[in-house]
Copies of this chain bind each other. A is one copy, B any other.
Amino acid sequence: MEALVKVLKNHKCKITPQRLAVYHVLRNNKDHPNAEAIFKMLEPNYPTISLATVYKSLELFAELGLIQAINLGENSFRYDPNPKVHPHVICSKCNKVEDLPEEYFDDLKAVVAKLVNYKVTKQHLTFYGICSDCNTN
């Protein structure tokens, strides 16, 4: 609840019901929703909120390092309440996105740096497969 308020205050951004709502919906959701999905989740309680406001809020939070926008090769961005870049697995059947711990993949940057002589700063790792739920059904 309160990291958001603190950070907004520090940056002299107003604390509005819409911003609180967008942040909390994302926080309490494990699916890595896109802007449209967040908008739909908010509509029942905030019938006048607009999609533009959702986008503006998400953009602000990403700038402030509170969340991150992720691109999984779909047509729209998904949003992740964890601002740290980390690997994801996406189920090709139900489209659920799960997080993976970074530490298993830390040595890859060095492998790449050696292969191509780049100063590697970031890695985006996305795995696709069938989750255990979808696999048994």
Contacts and interface: CB of A to CB of B under 8 A. Distances in A.
Interface string A33-77: 000000000000000000000000000000000000001010000
Interface residues on A, range: 35 or more
Given A118-B129, A118-B132, A125-B126, 10 more contacts: A71-B73, A89-B120, A100-B112, A112-B127, A112-B129, A118-B127, A118-B131, A120-B127, A120-B128, A123-B128
B104 A118 contact: no
Interface in A103-136: 104-105, 108-109, 111-113, 115-132, 135
Contacts of A108: 105, 125, 127
Interface string A92-109: 100000101100110011
What are the nearest 6 A-B pairs in CB distance?
A71-B73, A118-B129, A120-B129, A122-B128, A124-B126, A119-B130
| Copies held by the complex | 2
A8 interface: no
Contacts of A128: 120-124
Contacts of A117: 131-132
Contact of A126 (B98, B123, B129): B123
B92 A116 contact: no
B115 A111 contact: no
